Amino acid sequence: MTPETITASASGTWRLGDLTVNRIGFGAMRLTGNADGSPSERERVIAVLRRAIELGVNHIDTAAFYFSPLRSANELIGRALAPYPHDLVITTKVGPGRDPSGEWWWATPEQLRGQVEENLRQLGRDHLDVVNLRVPSRTASGSIAGHFGALAELREAGLIRHLGLSNVTPEHLAEALAIAPVVCVQNRYGIDARPEDDAFLRECGERRIAFVPYFAIAGEGRERGAVAADGEEVLAVARAHGATAAQVRLAWTLRRGPNVLAIPGTGNPAHLVANVAAGALPLSQDELARLDRLHESAGTAPDA
C-alpha cells in the first residue's frame, strides 16, 4: 500500500455527538497563507481541499478569523466543496475576532450570535455542525458561563448542532458541562506538550469527549510551523518506517487515546497525502516507549 492509496478511514473513527468522523481531519488555518507569510495560491489550496475529501477526510476545522488580505478559509472551503458531502463535519470557532486590518478583539456573549451568523454566511450553511468556544488564554481564570450559555441558546435555536471548547482548562470544561453537552475539547498538544496535559486528555476520554490537538506537528513553532529540528528519537523512528518526522508526531498523537482526533493543516498536496497516511503508521511498543520518554522529558526542560 502506497501513501497515495491510504485514506483517512485507516485512522479509525470517533463520534462528535451523533456525527461520525475519521480521526485524521484537516485544519484550515494554512489555507490563507504560507508559514513564511506569503499568500497562498488559490487554485492550489482549492485542489488540496478537494483532494482531502477524495482521501476520506470528513472533518474540517476552520474559523471566520482565518483570513488574510487575499483569502478567507471559510470561503475557500465553500468554493471548493459546496455542495458539501453528506458526511462532512465542519467545526468552527468563535470568541476571537479580527477587524479588516487583522487586529484581534474578543467577543462579548452578546456578540457571539453575530460571529456564528458570519460563519454561516461564509460557509453557505443553515447551521454549523460544531462550534468551539475559543478561550483567550490557557492560563486565564474566571468564568466562561456567559459565553458558553450564549452558544447553548444558539444551539437550542437550531443554528448550532453541537458545542465544543478550545484552549481551555478542566475547570472550564466542568463549568460548560453544567450548561450543555460538550462533544470536543481542542487544545494544544503533542510530543512537546506538558505531560500534565495528559490527565486532561484522559478525562475527556472518560467522558467520551473528543480531544483535538492543535500544533501537534508544529510544536513550539506554532503558527510558523515546525521551525526546530526534530530530535534523534523522532528521526530514528521516522527512518525505521521510511516516514517523516511530522508523520511520526501525528501517529504518536493518535495513539494517545481513541478519542484523539488530528487536524493537521497544509496547503501542500504532498503534505496532505503524508498527513493522511500517518493515520496508518504502525508504531511498535518500543517506539512508543521511546517517544513517550521524549514527551515526559518535556516537563523537566528548563523552559517548560
Query: What domain range is 268 assigned to?
Result: 13-300
| 66 annotated active-site | yes
**What's the CATH number where 213 sits?**
3.20.20.100
pLDDT at 83: 97
Residue whose C-alpha cell is 504532498 = 270
**Could you tell me if residue 218 is inside a domain?**
yes
Strand partners, 262: 24
Contacts of 177 (CB under 8 A, 6+ apart): 207
pTM of the model: 0.92
Residue 218 has a pLDDT of 56
- Is residue 122 situated within a structural domain? yes
Residue with cell 488564554: 137
In the prediction, which pLDDT does 138 show? 55
Distance CA 72, CA 26 (A): 16
CA angle 209, 246, 46 (to 5 degrees): 80
Q: What is the pLDDT of residue 304?
A: 28
The answer to whether residue 4 sits within a structural domain is no
Q: Is residue 70 part of a domain?
A: yes
Tens-digit pLDDT profile for the chain (304 aa)? 577 789 999 999 999 999 999 999 999 999 999 888 888 999 999 999 999 999 999 999 999 999 998 999 999 999 999 999 999 999 999 999 998 888 899 999 999 999 999 999 999 999 999 999 999 875 566 899 999 999 999 999 999 999 999 999 999 999 999 999 999 999 999 998 887 899 999 999 999 999 999 978 854 444 444 445 578 889 999 999 999 999 999 999 999 999 999 999 999 999 999 999 999 999 999 999 999 999 988 755 433 2
Number of domains in the chain: 1
Q: Is residue 5 part of a domain?
A: no
- Structure confidence at residue 3 (pLDDT): 73
In a domain, 199, yes or no: yes
Q: Which of 66, 84, 189, 214 is catalytic?
A: 66
Whether 6 maps to a domain, the answer reads no
Distances (CA, A) of 194 to 53, 141, 296, 304: 33, 19, 8, 7
In a domain, 196, yes or no: yes
Model pLDDT, residue 23:
98
